[in-house]
Chain A
Amino acid sequence: MPIDPLFFWAFAALTLGGALLTITLRSAVHCAIALIASLAGVAGLYLLQKAEFLFAVQIVLYIGGIMVLFLFVIMLVNLDAAARERQFHKRWWAGLAATLATGALLIYYLAKGASGLRAAPMPAQPAGNTEQLSDLLFSEYLLPFELVSLLLLVAIVGSVIMAKKRIV
């Protein structure tokens, strides 16, 4: 028996369990820790799909970068009062109805189209995943790559301006 399905179910349970805890726990720090578990599960699923570079990016950028950013903000912003109040707002039924409608739509289309989905046999990889990705990124996708660097510059300047106390 191949070992892959076992890992898939383990990582899927980690991902969904962490996600459920993220949206239900009371304290924001506990939510952040549950989110780390969920993101680690997604990283494992990337590895199962032979996307090694994305696996590394997920660990370094999401778990290492974004989560530290979240924890810093949780420290800067006083959340003690928020943790004691209601966690779901008054019109929760409207949000739940919208979520369930989206779910019904997704189930309908997945049931309709899933039978037509077949995995193409992966062509033999002449090189490592990272090497192939960089070949593609720096040739075919060079313009979007450069545009993204511009977006990051704008985001850096924007977030500094937003968090600054007084703009001189």
Chain B
Amino acid sequence: MGTITPTHYLVLSAALLLIGTAGVLLRRNVVVVLMSIELILNAVNLNLVAFGNMAGQLNGQIFAIFVITVAVAEAAVGLGILIALFRNKETVQVDEIDLLKW
């Protein structure tokens, strides 16, 4: 097993970011796309905390708190938009939402 170095955390967070990216780019369901964005933001937070610990200071954790706050605002507004969208278009599939396409 060995000892756990900061590199372990960086690789883990890179893997989490890739899974989140795949979810955003591949899925059709808007709710799952929003969940994948939360995965990406969590990967970033993990990275920030790991780098902060590596430098031996707490600023990374402060940044993670700010990222979490912005993530909450993003989720609230995103889900509000989703409800408005469902009321008008009756669909949650990203490839059927093409009002701006010509």
Whether A114 contacts B82 by the Cβ 8 Å rule is no
Q: How many residues belonging to A are interface residues under a CB distance threshold of 8 Å?
A: 89
Residues of A close to B6: CB separation below 8 A? 117, 119
In the complex the two chains form, what is the Cα distance from A102 to B49 in whole Å? 22
Q: Would B26 and A54 count as touching, CB distance under 8 A?
A: no
Q: Which of A23, A53, A73, A98 contacts B23 (CB 8 A)?
A: A23
Does B18 lie within 8 Å of A102, measured CB to CB?
yes
- Contact indicator per residue, chain B 65-100, by CB within 8 Å of chain A (1) or not (0): 110111111111101111110110001111100000
Q: A42-B46, A88-B26 are in contact. Are A159 and B58 (CB under 8 A)?
A: no
Quick check: B58 and A136 within 8 Å, CB to CB?
A: yes
A51 lies within 8 A of B61 (CB): yes
User: Is A120 within 8 A of B55, CB to CB?
Assistant: yes
Known A-B contacts A4-B4, A89-B26; A70 and B31 likewise in contact (beta carbons under 8 Å): yes
Known: A5-B2, A119-B5, A158-B77. Contact between A45 and B27, CB under 8 A?
no
The complex places the Cα of A50 from the Cα of B45 at a distance, in Å, of 14
Q: Is the interface of A mostly helix, strand, loop or mixed?
A: helix
Chain A, residue nearest B86 (CB): A77
A144 touches B66 (CB 8 A): yes
Q: Is the CB of A31 within 8 A of B31?
A: yes
Q: Report the Cα distance A47→B21, complex, angstroms.
A: 25
Give the CA-CA distance A90 to B26 in the complex, in Å: 9
CB distance from A135 to the nearest CB of B (A): 9
- In the bound complex, do residue A2 and residue B82 qualify as a contact, i.e. CB atoms below 8 Å apart? no
Residues 35 to 55 of chain B near chain A (Cβ within 8 Å): 35-36, 38-39, 42, 45-46, 49-50, 53-55
B residues in contact with A79, CB < 8 Å: 29, 31, 92
Which B residues fall within an 8 A CB radius of A?
1-12, 14-23, 25-29, 31-32, 34-36, 38-39, 42, 45-46, 49-50, 53-56, 58-59, 61-62, 64-66, 68-77, 79-84, 86-87, 91-95
Given A42-B46, A77-B31; 6 other pairs, CB 8 A cutoff? A53-B61, A73-B79, A76-B83, A98-B21, A133-B65, A162-B83
